[in-house]
Amino acid sequence: MTTKIKDSLFKPLKKIVVEQYGIITSNRMGVIGLSFLLFFLIVAIFAPWLAPHDPWEMMYDVNEEFASLRSPSWEFPLGTTHLGYDLFSQLILATRTTLLIGSVSGAISILIGANIGLIAGYYGGKIDELLMRFTDILYGMPFLPFIIVLISLFGRHLEFIILAIVLIIWRTSARVIRAQTISIKQRQFIAAAKARGCSDFRIIYRHILPNVMPLLLLYAAFNIAWSIITEASTSFLGFGDGDTISWGGMLYELFLSGKTRVAWWWFAAPSICIILLVISLVLISRAYEEVANPRLRKR
Protein backbone atom coordinates (compact mmCIF):
# COMPACT_ATOMS: atom_id res chain seq x y z
CA MET A 1 0.00 0.00 0.00
CA THR A 2 2.63 2.51 0.98
CA THR A 3 4.72 1.66 -2.05
CA LYS A 4 1.63 2.25 -4.14
CA ILE A 5 1.15 5.72 -2.72
CA LYS A 6 4.83 6.38 -3.12
CA ASP A 7 4.64 5.24 -6.72
CA SER A 8 1.63 7.35 -7.54
CA LEU A 9 3.24 10.38 -5.96
CA PHE A 10 6.88 10.07 -6.93
CA LYS A 11 6.65 8.53 -10.36
CA PRO A 12 4.86 11.52 -11.91
CA LEU A 13 7.09 13.86 -9.93
CA LYS A 14 10.17 12.08 -11.17
CA LYS A 15 8.81 12.19 -14.70
CA ILE A 16 8.21 15.93 -14.44
CA VAL A 17 11.72 16.56 -13.12
CA VAL A 18 13.28 14.42 -15.85
CA GLU A 19 11.18 16.16 -18.50
CA GLN A 20 11.96 19.68 -17.27
CA TYR A 21 15.64 18.80 -16.95
CA GLY A 22 15.56 17.56 -20.53
CA ILE A 23 14.03 20.80 -21.79
CA ILE A 24 16.60 22.99 -20.06
CA THR A 25 19.64 20.89 -20.89
CA SER A 26 18.73 20.52 -24.56
CA ASN A 27 19.80 24.13 -24.88
CA ARG A 28 23.36 25.26 -24.18
CA MET A 29 22.19 28.58 -22.77
CA GLY A 30 19.81 26.66 -20.55
CA VAL A 31 22.71 24.56 -19.22
CA ILE A 32 24.68 27.69 -18.36
CA GLY A 33 21.66 29.24 -16.67
CA LEU A 34 20.88 26.08 -14.74
CA SER A 35 24.46 25.70 -13.50
CA PHE A 36 24.58 29.30 -12.24
CA LEU A 37 21.24 28.86 -10.54
CA LEU A 38 22.35 25.61 -8.89
CA PHE A 39 25.53 27.33 -7.76
CA PHE A 40 23.57 30.13 -6.09
CA LEU A 41 21.17 27.59 -4.60
CA ILE A 42 23.99 25.62 -3.01
CA VAL A 43 25.53 28.81 -1.67
CA ALA A 44 22.17 29.84 -0.22
CA ILE A 45 21.54 26.49 1.42
CA PHE A 46 24.99 26.19 3.00
CA ALA A 47 25.43 29.92 3.61
CA PRO A 48 25.99 29.76 7.41
CA TRP A 49 28.73 27.17 6.95
CA LEU A 50 30.31 28.85 3.95
CA ALA A 51 30.56 32.34 5.42
CA PRO A 52 33.95 32.73 7.14
CA HIS A 53 32.77 35.48 9.51
CA ASP A 54 29.69 36.91 11.11
CA PRO A 55 28.43 39.52 8.61
CA TRP A 56 27.81 42.02 11.39
CA GLU A 57 31.16 41.59 13.13
CA MET A 58 33.73 44.35 12.97
CA MET A 59 36.89 42.82 11.60
CA TYR A 60 40.47 43.33 12.66
CA ASP A 61 43.33 42.23 10.45
CA VAL A 62 46.36 40.12 11.45
CA ASN A 63 48.11 43.19 12.79
CA GLU A 64 45.17 43.80 15.13
CA GLU A 65 44.28 46.90 13.13
CA PHE A 66 40.63 47.86 12.49
CA ALA A 67 39.86 46.63 8.95
CA SER A 68 37.77 49.49 7.60
CA LEU A 69 37.25 49.87 3.83
CA ARG A 70 39.87 47.28 2.87
CA SER A 71 40.08 46.38 -0.79
CA PRO A 72 39.97 42.65 -1.65
CA SER A 73 42.90 40.68 -0.26
CA TRP A 74 43.64 37.11 0.84
CA GLU A 75 42.30 37.89 4.27
CA PHE A 76 39.11 39.62 3.10
CA PRO A 77 38.39 38.17 -0.38
CA LEU A 78 35.84 40.84 -1.29
CA GLY A 79 37.07 43.60 0.97
CA THR A 80 35.32 45.19 3.92
CA THR A 81 32.83 48.00 4.59
CA HIS A 82 33.59 51.25 6.35
CA LEU A 83 32.43 49.60 9.59
CA GLY A 84 34.80 46.72 9.02
CA TYR A 85 32.19 44.11 8.03
CA ASP A 86 33.42 41.29 5.82
CA LEU A 87 31.72 41.70 2.43
CA PHE A 88 32.35 38.08 1.39
CA SER A 89 30.35 36.79 4.36
CA GLN A 90 27.65 39.38 3.78
CA LEU A 91 27.37 38.40 0.14
CA ILE A 92 27.03 34.71 0.97
CA LEU A 93 24.33 35.25 3.56
CA ALA A 94 22.52 37.75 1.35
CA THR A 95 22.19 35.04 -1.32
CA ARG A 96 19.74 33.31 0.99
CA THR A 97 17.42 36.29 1.37
CA THR A 98 17.54 37.14 -2.28
CA LEU A 99 16.77 33.60 -3.43
CA LEU A 100 14.06 33.23 -0.82
CA ILE A 101 12.32 36.43 -1.86
CA GLY A 102 12.81 35.59 -5.52
CA SER A 103 11.43 32.08 -5.37
CA VAL A 104 8.58 32.78 -2.97
CA SER A 105 7.29 35.88 -4.73
CA GLY A 106 7.99 34.30 -8.13
CA ALA A 107 5.96 31.22 -7.22
CA ILE A 108 3.07 33.11 -5.63
CA SER A 109 2.87 35.63 -8.45
CA ILE A 110 2.77 32.96 -11.15
CA LEU A 111 0.15 31.06 -9.16
CA ILE A 112 -2.08 34.12 -8.97
CA GLY A 113 -1.32 35.23 -12.51
CA ALA A 114 -1.93 31.79 -14.02
CA ASN A 115 -5.23 31.26 -12.25
CA ILE A 116 -6.56 34.70 -13.03
CA GLY A 117 -5.42 34.38 -16.64
CA LEU A 118 -6.94 30.92 -17.06
CA ILE A 119 -10.26 31.84 -15.47
CA ALA A 120 -10.59 35.17 -17.25
CA GLY A 121 -9.59 33.66 -20.58
CA TYR A 122 -11.76 30.59 -20.30
CA TYR A 123 -15.00 32.13 -19.06
CA GLY A 124 -14.74 35.42 -20.93
CA GLY A 125 -17.60 37.88 -20.68
CA LYS A 126 -18.21 39.59 -17.40
CA ILE A 127 -15.71 37.54 -15.40
CA ASP A 128 -13.01 38.37 -17.92
CA GLU A 129 -13.98 42.01 -17.89
CA LEU A 130 -13.87 42.18 -14.10
CA LEU A 131 -10.55 40.41 -13.68
CA MET A 132 -8.83 42.21 -16.52
CA ARG A 133 -9.96 45.67 -15.43
CA PHE A 134 -8.61 44.79 -11.99
CA THR A 135 -5.33 43.86 -13.68
CA ASP A 136 -5.41 47.15 -15.57
CA ILE A 137 -5.81 49.03 -12.29
CA LEU A 138 -2.70 47.30 -10.98
CA TYR A 139 -0.92 48.28 -14.19
CA GLY A 140 -1.68 51.85 -13.35
CA MET A 141 -0.23 51.45 -9.87
CA PRO A 142 3.21 53.04 -9.52
CA PHE A 143 5.41 50.55 -7.73
CA LEU A 144 7.44 52.73 -5.36
CA PRO A 145 4.61 54.81 -3.84
CA PHE A 146 2.72 51.54 -3.46
CA ILE A 147 5.50 49.82 -1.55
CA ILE A 148 6.17 52.95 0.54
CA VAL A 149 2.54 53.01 1.64
CA LEU A 150 2.54 49.29 2.34
CA ILE A 151 5.72 49.41 4.39
CA SER A 152 4.77 52.50 6.32
CA LEU A 153 1.53 50.74 7.20
CA PHE A 154 2.94 47.38 8.18
CA GLY A 155 6.61 47.98 8.82
CA ARG A 156 9.76 46.81 7.10
CA HIS A 157 9.16 43.07 7.21
CA LEU A 158 10.13 40.45 4.67
CA GLU A 159 6.51 39.23 4.35
CA PHE A 160 5.23 42.63 3.30
CA ILE A 161 8.05 43.16 0.87
CA ILE A 162 7.16 39.83 -0.73
CA LEU A 163 3.49 40.78 -0.70
CA ALA A 164 4.19 44.09 -2.39
CA ILE A 165 6.34 42.43 -5.05
CA VAL A 166 3.73 39.73 -5.71
CA LEU A 167 0.87 42.22 -6.01
CA ILE A 168 2.76 44.13 -8.65
CA ILE A 169 4.33 41.28 -10.59
CA TRP A 170 1.48 38.86 -11.27
CA ARG A 171 -0.29 41.21 -13.66
CA THR A 172 1.87 40.52 -16.72
CA SER A 173 1.66 36.75 -16.38
CA ALA A 174 -2.12 37.00 -15.97
CA ARG A 175 -2.45 38.94 -19.20
CA VAL A 176 -0.20 36.66 -21.21
CA ILE A 177 -1.79 33.47 -19.91
CA ARG A 178 -5.27 34.86 -20.53
CA ALA A 179 -4.35 35.55 -24.16
CA GLN A 180 -2.96 32.05 -24.62
CA THR A 181 -6.01 30.52 -22.92
CA ILE A 182 -8.34 32.34 -25.28
CA SER A 183 -6.43 30.94 -28.23
CA ILE A 184 -6.39 27.39 -26.85
CA LYS A 185 -10.00 27.28 -25.73
CA GLN A 186 -11.08 27.76 -29.33
CA ARG A 187 -9.21 24.70 -30.50
CA GLN A 188 -11.16 21.63 -31.51
CA PHE A 189 -10.01 19.42 -28.69
CA ILE A 190 -11.53 21.71 -26.08
CA ALA A 191 -14.90 21.47 -27.81
CA ALA A 192 -14.38 17.71 -27.93
CA ALA A 193 -13.61 17.62 -24.21
CA LYS A 194 -16.76 19.64 -23.56
CA ALA A 195 -18.78 17.21 -25.65
CA ARG A 196 -17.32 14.40 -23.56
CA GLY A 197 -18.97 16.00 -20.55
CA CYS A 198 -15.85 17.38 -18.87
CA SER A 199 -16.54 20.01 -16.22
CA ASP A 200 -15.20 23.54 -16.59
CA PHE A 201 -12.70 22.88 -13.81
CA ARG A 202 -11.42 19.82 -15.60
CA ILE A 203 -11.18 21.59 -18.93
CA ILE A 204 -9.28 24.51 -17.42
CA TYR A 205 -6.82 22.54 -15.33
CA ARG A 206 -6.50 19.28 -17.23
CA HIS A 207 -6.86 20.40 -20.84
CA ILE A 208 -5.84 24.03 -21.07
CA LEU A 209 -3.22 24.27 -18.33
CA PRO A 210 -0.81 21.68 -19.80
CA ASN A 211 -1.02 23.52 -23.10
CA VAL A 212 -0.04 26.85 -21.54
CA MET A 213 2.62 25.19 -19.37
CA PRO A 214 5.69 26.19 -21.42
CA LEU A 215 4.52 29.79 -21.37
CA LEU A 216 3.73 29.55 -17.69
CA LEU A 217 7.19 28.26 -16.82
CA LEU A 218 8.71 30.97 -18.98
CA TYR A 219 6.83 33.61 -17.02
CA ALA A 220 7.65 31.89 -13.73
CA ALA A 221 11.33 32.35 -14.54
CA PHE A 222 10.70 35.96 -15.57
CA ASN A 223 8.77 36.60 -12.39
CA ILE A 224 11.57 35.27 -10.21
CA ALA A 225 14.08 37.45 -12.03
CA TRP A 226 11.84 40.49 -11.67
CA SER A 227 11.24 39.78 -7.99
CA ILE A 228 14.98 39.72 -7.38
CA ILE A 229 15.51 42.98 -9.21
CA THR A 230 12.56 44.56 -7.46
CA GLU A 231 13.76 43.40 -4.07
CA ALA A 232 17.20 44.83 -4.82
CA SER A 233 15.75 48.20 -5.75
CA THR A 234 13.46 48.37 -2.74
CA SER A 235 16.34 47.46 -0.46
CA PHE A 236 18.56 49.98 -2.18
CA LEU A 237 15.98 52.67 -1.54
CA GLY A 238 15.92 51.75 2.12
CA PHE A 239 12.66 49.81 2.27
CA GLY A 240 14.27 46.44 2.86
CA ASP A 241 13.89 44.36 5.98
CA GLY A 242 16.45 45.74 8.42
CA ASP A 243 17.01 42.40 10.13
CA THR A 244 18.08 40.47 7.07
CA ILE A 245 20.77 41.14 4.59
CA SER A 246 20.25 41.13 0.86
CA TRP A 247 22.25 42.15 -2.19
CA GLY A 248 20.16 45.23 -2.68
CA GLY A 249 20.52 45.99 1.03
CA MET A 250 24.31 45.82 0.72
CA LEU A 251 24.17 48.44 -2.01
CA TYR A 252 21.94 50.57 0.21
CA GLU A 253 24.50 50.41 3.03
CA LEU A 254 27.17 51.54 0.57
CA PHE A 255 24.99 54.42 -0.51
CA LEU A 256 24.41 55.43 3.11
CA SER A 257 28.12 55.30 3.91
CA GLY A 258 28.83 57.79 1.14
CA LYS A 259 31.87 55.80 0.01
CA THR A 260 30.53 54.90 -3.43
CA ARG A 261 33.42 56.64 -5.23
CA VAL A 262 36.07 54.96 -3.12
CA ALA A 263 34.89 51.42 -2.42
CA TRP A 264 34.49 49.94 -5.91
CA TRP A 265 34.64 46.42 -4.44
CA TRP A 266 31.65 47.16 -2.26
CA PHE A 267 29.26 47.68 -5.14
CA ALA A 268 30.96 45.29 -7.58
CA ALA A 269 30.24 42.02 -5.78
CA PRO A 270 26.46 42.39 -5.08
CA SER A 271 25.84 43.97 -8.48
CA ILE A 272 27.59 41.15 -10.31
CA CYS A 273 25.65 38.60 -8.28
CA ILE A 274 22.32 40.24 -9.09
CA ILE A 275 23.23 40.35 -12.76
CA LEU A 276 24.41 36.71 -12.84
CA LEU A 277 21.33 35.36 -11.07
CA VAL A 278 18.92 37.29 -13.25
CA ILE A 279 20.80 36.25 -16.38
CA SER A 280 20.72 32.63 -15.32
CA LEU A 281 16.95 32.81 -14.92
CA VAL A 282 16.51 34.56 -18.23
CA LEU A 283 18.63 31.87 -19.91
CA ILE A 284 16.46 29.16 -18.36
CA SER A 285 13.32 30.94 -19.46
CA ARG A 286 14.77 31.16 -22.95
CA ALA A 287 15.11 27.39 -22.99
CA TYR A 288 11.39 27.22 -22.18
CA GLU A 289 10.61 29.85 -24.76
CA GLU A 290 12.04 27.54 -27.39
CA VAL A 291 9.53 24.91 -26.36
CA ALA A 292 6.68 27.40 -26.42
CA ASN A 293 7.83 28.93 -29.68
CA PRO A 294 9.58 26.39 -31.91
CA ARG A 295 10.55 29.05 -34.42
CA LEU A 296 13.33 30.14 -32.06
CA ARG A 297 14.91 26.69 -32.35
CA LYS A 298 18.03 26.22 -34.37
CA ARG A 299 17.51 23.77 -37.20
Nearer to other proteins, 156 or 194 (CB): 194
- In the list 29, 32, 150, 193, the residue contacting other proteins (rule: CB under 8 A) is 193
Q: How far apart are CA 224 and CA 274, in angstroms?
A: 12
What is the nearest approach in angstroms of other proteins to the Cβ of residue 211? 6
Q: How many residues would you count in the chain?
A: 299
Cβ 67 to other proteins, closest distance in Å?
Answer: 58
User: Phi and psi at residue 124, in whole multiples of 5°?
Assistant: 65, -165
Q: How far is the CB of 296 from other proteins (least distance, A)?
A: 19
How many chain residues are in contact with other proteins, going by CB under 8 A?
19
Which of 288, 106, 132 minimizes the C-alpha distance to 215? 288
SS3 212: helix
Is residue 198 at the binding interface for other proteins, with CB under 8 A as the rule? yes
Site string for other proteins, 227-256 (x = CB under 8 A): ------------------------------
* Whole-angstrom distance, CA of residue 58 vs CA of residue 69: 11
Can you name the residues that pair with 66 across neighbouring β-strands? 60
What are the backbone angles phi and psi of residue 298, rounded to the nearest 5°? Answer: -80, 140
Q: Does 271 bind other proteins (CB under 8 A)?
A: no
Residue 188 lies near other proteins (rule: CB under 8 A): yes
DSSP string for residues in 217-286: HHHHHHHHHHHHHHHHHHHHTT-S-TTS--HHHHHHHHHHHT-TTT-HHHHHHHHHHHHHHHHHHHHHHH
**Residue list 106-135, contact with other proteins (CB under 8 A):** 125
- Interface segment toward other proteins; rule CB under 8 A; list 92-100, 111-119, 172-180, 197-205: 197-205
Check residue 192 for interaction with other proteins (CB under 8 A): yes
Stretch that binds other proteins, among 73-81, 104-112, 131-139, 195-203 (CB under 8 A): 195-203
Where on the chain is the footprint of other proteins (CB under 8 A)?
A: 125, 187-189, 191-199, 202, 206-207, 210-211, 213
